[in-house]
Chains A and B, each alone.
Chain A
Amino acid sequence: MRRTAPIIQRIDWLTVAIVVILMAIGLFNVASATAGADAVDWFDWGSKQGKQFMWVALAMILAGLILVIEGEFFIRTAAIYYFVNLLLLVAVLAVGRTIGGAKSWFSFGSIGIQPSEFAKTGTALMLAWLLSRNNERISNRNNLVKAILIVAIPAGLILLQPDAGTVLVFGGMILVFYREGLSGNVLIAVFCALLIAIATILTGASLFEYPAIGSASAVGILWFILAVLGTFIWSMIPQWVLPRKRKRVRRAVVFSFIAGLVMSAALHTGLEEVLKPHQKDRIHVLFGIDVGNPDADYNIRHAKAAVSSGSWTGKGYLQGPMTAYGFVPEQETDFIFCTIGEEWGFVGTVFTLLLYTLLMLRILHLAERQRSDFTRIFAYAAASVLFMHYLINIGMVLGLAPVIGIPLPFISAGGSSMLGFTLLIFILLRLDAERFTVLR
């Protein structure tokens, strides 16, 4: 490939193809979910799928614009874009419209814009900018704090809306930190902390018949197991660890297990003592704990039923009764995967999963072929954002993750996420296209 080749030959068409296919899947399934039992009216611009059509068209225009802008522009304006985003996130808390319990929308007539969908790109740009400056490695504690702040500030503003799903997406940036040099132990520690938190919530909701004490919360068993496990590992240190490392390892083990216990106890107390019963119930419902209200989790039961009823090849496009007759809530946005599952079956769901996986792996591949740190870090941030949406959205529909509403990239109806993801992917593609021509 020649360095002077036109931009059109240098962009990664595989990624573009995957994105276009995802958009097409989205259009067809949003149309089915919107039409319900009626025939699809492809040219009704007022309907949800009509709007989606419009958003896809706008996304194409936006992609074209991005591709003709010099990559240098994005690097230079990263900080500006980031701070404008922060301002918008503050503004939405003041004048935003509340939909579905979260104050996260600017509303212009019938069109709503969600600034948090654009803040992901802003944060990715800012993070890439910070970490790609000379000698600003993440192993430097000072830089780590700066990097965490860059992610935490928008995440904190979004938590105030509150939109837990998007906050979790920002949490996914830990993968970027890991790639840039954060210790693997941190990744493991975060994973363990999540595991302990989930175990605390699940055991905390059930009772156990203790000998001599009687009936009490089963969370005690969790603590007992943690204590026994910690003691066991501590006692095995002489066998497992070289003498000169023992002191450090011992300290680490004692610290981790005490931290785990304290966190678990704090979480349990918070749930039981601080939250009001209805708030506690909401958290329990997220984790599939029976709160004695048959209506509480019927959304997720219907979602699972819809996906399951697709079998091998699905009921056929526009033929799914659960999609057509309103059994799945928010089925053109957060639960769009139900429509794919019901109407296209296993073939359709696995095809979609493979497309996302291919897209994420392709982005990793693009990232690693860069000479520019900025592009690599930005690419990792984009992959992390995509991955978190993929993980949370499909995990929720399949009943593996809590019910947290976030869109499925390029497929769910909605303009903000469509434009936000377009921004994310096409800035990356533009930067990637310049990988031979520009040295940074």
Chain B
Amino acid sequence: MNLRERQVVIGGIFVLITLIFIGRLIQMQLYSSEWKEYAARLTEETEQLEPARGLMLDRNGQILLNNMAGYDIWFTPRKCRTAGGLDTMAFAEILRMTPAELEREFRRAEAYASYRPSIIRKQIPAEHFARIAGELYRFPGAEARRRTIRTNPTGLASHLVGEYREVDQNDMASNSRYRLGDYKGKSGLELQWDQALHGKRGIRHHIVDIRNDYRAPAQEGLLDTLPTPGQDIQLTLDLDLQAYGENIMANKRGAIVAIEPSTGEVLAMVSAPSYATDLLTGRERGSNYDSLLNHPSKPLFNRTLRATYRPGSIFKMIQGLIALDRGVIRPSSRIYCDRNIIGCHGGHTLDNLEEAIVHSCNPYFHEVMKRMIQDGSSGNIFRDAHNNLGAWSESIRAFGMGTNLGGHFPALRSGTVPDTTDYDRMYGRKRWAYSTIYSISIGEGELLTTPIHMANLAAVLANRGHYVTPHVIQHIGDLGKPEEMNQRFDTGIDPIHFETVIRAMAQVVTAEDGTGSRAQVPGFDVCGKTGTVQNSQGNHSVFIAFAPKNNPQIALSVYVENAGSGGDWAAPIASLMIERYLNGTVEQREKEDRILQATYPFPESPL
């Protein structure tokens, strides 16, 4: 080859390299999106603008749930490294962590992304932050970001309001709007009304620098949106009554549910023992949760909605009302107290309905239900029971028993009102007669109800035949009460029949030897009924009541577990609650002291 021609080889090498470069540029700049996406990940960051979460207020405008200023400490490992590291001991000290805990957070941050910030210390209250804010500059890679901390300053109604905390993997998998470090309602009202409380998040797109600091708006801010604040929710609760109820139920296990009968508005929902809401929203949640979960009294268990008990003697009032309505008895009908059929107590022998309720006569209601179930219409006791039980169950359900009470409490257990199919399944079709199932006639057997069902029953009695679906929502934002909260349920029983039962309930409280005499409230006519739920660890003390007798303002149920008979503990608690609500103060000091000092069933480690 002529040496002169070698210029072609050399020029060819130059051109070949340029062609390779252009090919690579076509791939990188025009064709592939891989590196462009990487560039966007490096330089663009979307900032979520959290709306202020809606507050929760009681019926009088008192604050139940509030938002408090707080700070999270974020940490970017690479920033720290390039600045030459930091003094872990000193950093741990100002953050009030152990060096080992801090090291663990550092490792977590590194594993997440070394050039991105991650949270290493959550929810530092404003007053703590004020003390350390001036020190933070000494720790490269660390920065503080404001966040609101949800707080329940009174610590009341924790079971009802529920938990508001950081989202977990499941939340993030099921809903793309959640990102690591976001918070959401996890139970109770915080969960049920999460969307309304949360409002709508705003988004701001930023261009960030190599240190991940925001430098300029991306896309000229055209895609940015402002947050819409969450709506405040006003509850029907009366915080004063709630506080009083939680106080007198201290050191006891049980529940109180109080309802305004005319509206179905729940005034108080006490599940004892209780706990302060903030124990489970703060940064110590983990250890608090474990100790609450493992406590023998099950403080996390919401007894008002989820504890099911047999209704016992209180159920006899429903039996009487249905029987009157069907005409199988009249108020004056007397039935012999035949203790060979079923046991009884007290000195009575031949009670009418009113007396039978006051004395809680078992044979009376055994006979009353027998007349409804085993009416002889088919000439066969099995067929009678099979034909008639369904209608009877329907009548019981009309009082809310065994139903979801209109469905405004997602956590509510419906309880049990046994039906034909239930017994068919238990004993076989037409293999059972009234004699098989008679224990339900006196509120035992398969019947199960919760404290809110029993409070609702008190409201039905107070209203003489109907109830409004129990609910706790008064207003959502500016919208007022949702229409479905006013839904009315009728028992279909003539109000006239209620007068007999209510006379008996008044008698239970006012008679010198009445089982509910401790439920008296000076100056008011209280109507009530005691109940005692059999339990191997000691019977549960139960009482339902409403007051005043005419124009009732409050209907309630009280449960004290393992405390004995209904008249001894539940009745006086009902009395105090009624007095507190109707008078705004309690003057029955002696009664109050006796309850406050009582500790049932046994002293336990404090919560």
Residues of A within 8 A of B (CB): 37, 175, 178-181, 184, 294-295, 301-302, 304-312, 321-322, 324-327, 341, 345-346, 349-350, 353-354, 356-357, 360-361, 364, 367-368, 380, 383, 387, 390-391, 394-395, 398-400
Contact = CB atoms under 8 A, between A and B. Distances in A.
Contacts of B39: 305-306, 308-309, 322
Contact of B215 (A325, A360, A364, A398): A325
B35 A304 contact: yes
B22 A37 contact: no
A325 B29 contact: no
A178 B10 contact: yes
A37 B36 CA distance: 21
A175 B8 CA distance: 12
Size band of the interface chain B makes with A: 35 or more
Contacts of B209: 37, 324-327
Given A301-B38, A311-B29, 12 more contacts: A304-B38, A305-B35, A307-B28, A307-B35, A308-B35, A308-B39, A309-B39, A324-B209, A325-B43, A357-B14, A364-B11, A383-B14
A312 B215 contact: no
The 4 A-B residue pairs with the shortest CB-CB distance in the complex, in nearest-first order: A308-B35, A325-B209, A309-B39, A305-B39
Nearest to A294: B114
B342 interface: no
B7 A321 contact: no
Interface string B1-40: 1011011011101110110111011101110101110111
Determine which residue in A184, A324, A357 has the highest number of CB atoms from chain B within 10 A of its CB, and name it. A357
B216 interface: yes
A367 B29 contact: no
Interface in B79-134: 81, 114
Contact of A398 (B14, B28, B38, B211): B28
B208 interface: yes
B207 interface: yes
A37 B206 CA distance: 14
B407 to A, nearest CB: 53
B43 A350 contact: no
A175 B12 CA distance: 12
Contacts of A310: 29
Contact of B114 (A295, A354, A383, A387): A295
Contacts of B81: 295
B28 A304 contact: yes
Contact of A368 (B4, B35, B40, B207): B4
Contacts of A398: 21, 24-25, 28
Contacts of A175: 10, 13
Nearest to A306: B39
Contacts of A295: 78, 81, 114
A5 B11 CA distance: 31
Interface in B199-247: 207-211, 215-216
Given A322-B42, A357-B15, A349 B29 contact: yes
A329 to B, nearest CB: 9
A395 B20 CA distance: 10
A387 B17 CA distance: 9
Contacts of A181: 3
Interface string B29-62: 1101011101110111000000000000000000
16 contacts: A178-B6, A178-B9, A179-B6, A179-B7, A179-B10, A304-B38, A307-B35, A308-B28, A309-B40, A321-B216, A322-B43, A350-B25, A357-B14, A364-B14, A368-B7, A398-B28
Contact of B210 (A327, A367, A394, A400): A327
Contact of B20 (A324, A326, A400): A400
Nearest to B17: A391
A56 to B, nearest CB: 25
Contacts of B44: 321
Given A37-B215, A341-B29, A308 B36 contact: yes
A292 B112 CA distance: 16
B36 A394 contact: no
Contact of A387 (B3, B9, B14, B28): B14
A345 B42 contact: no
Determine which residue in A178, A181, A305, A360 has the highest number of CB atoms from chain B within 10 A of its CB, and name it. A305
Given A307-B28, A312-B30, A383 B36 contact: no
A357 B19 CA distance: 10
A404 to B, nearest CB: 16
A325 B207 contact: yes
B25 A307 contact: yes
Nearest to B15: A357
B529 to A, nearest CB: 72
Contacts of B21: 353, 394-395, 398, 400
Given A37-B216, A305-B38, A309-B40, A325 B210 contact: yes
A357 B18 contact: yes
B42 to A, nearest CB: 6
Contact of A309 (B1, B6, B35, B211): B35
Given A327-B43, A398-B21, A321 B29 contact: no
Contacts of B20: 400
Nearest to B34: A308
A349 B210 CA distance: 24
B32 A308 contact: yes
Contacts of A361: 11, 14-15
A310 B35 CA distance: 10
Contacts of B40: 309
A302 B42 contact: yes
A346 B30 contact: yes
Contacts of A395: 21
Contact of B29 (A178, A322, A345, A368): A345
Contact of A360 (B14, B35, B114): B14
Contacts of B15: 357, 361
Interface string B359-374: 0000000000000000
Nearest to A380: B10
B585 to A, nearest CB: 66
A383 B35 contact: no
B190 to A, nearest CB: 39
Contacts of B17: 387, 390-391
A171 B419 CA distance: 97
A400 B24 contact: yes
A367 B38 contact: no
A325 B36 contact: no
B22 to A, nearest CB: 6
A396 to B, nearest CB: 11
Contacts of A341: 25, 29
Determine which residue in B34, B39, B78 has the highest number of CB atoms from chain A within 10 A of its CB, and name it. B39
A321 B10 contact: no
B42 A364 contact: no
A321 B30 contact: no
Determine which residue in B7, B30, B36, B216 has the highest number of CB atoms from chain A within 10 A of its CB, and name it. B7
A395 B17 CA distance: 9
Contacts of B7: 179, 364, 367-368
Nearest to B113: A294
Given A301-B38, A321-B43, A307 B22 contact: no
Contact of A179 (B3, B14, B207, B210): B3
Contacts of B215: 37, 321, 324-325
A180 B14 contact: no
Interface string B479-505: 000000000000000000000000000
A180 B22 contact: no
Given A37-B209, A178-B10, A367-B7, A350 B22 contact: yes
A218 to B, nearest CB: 26
Interface string B174-212: 000000000000000000000000000000000111110
A357 B17 CA distance: 9
A39 B253 CA distance: 71
Contacts of B18: 353-354, 356-357
B596 to A, nearest CB: 63
Contacts of A327: 42-43, 209-210
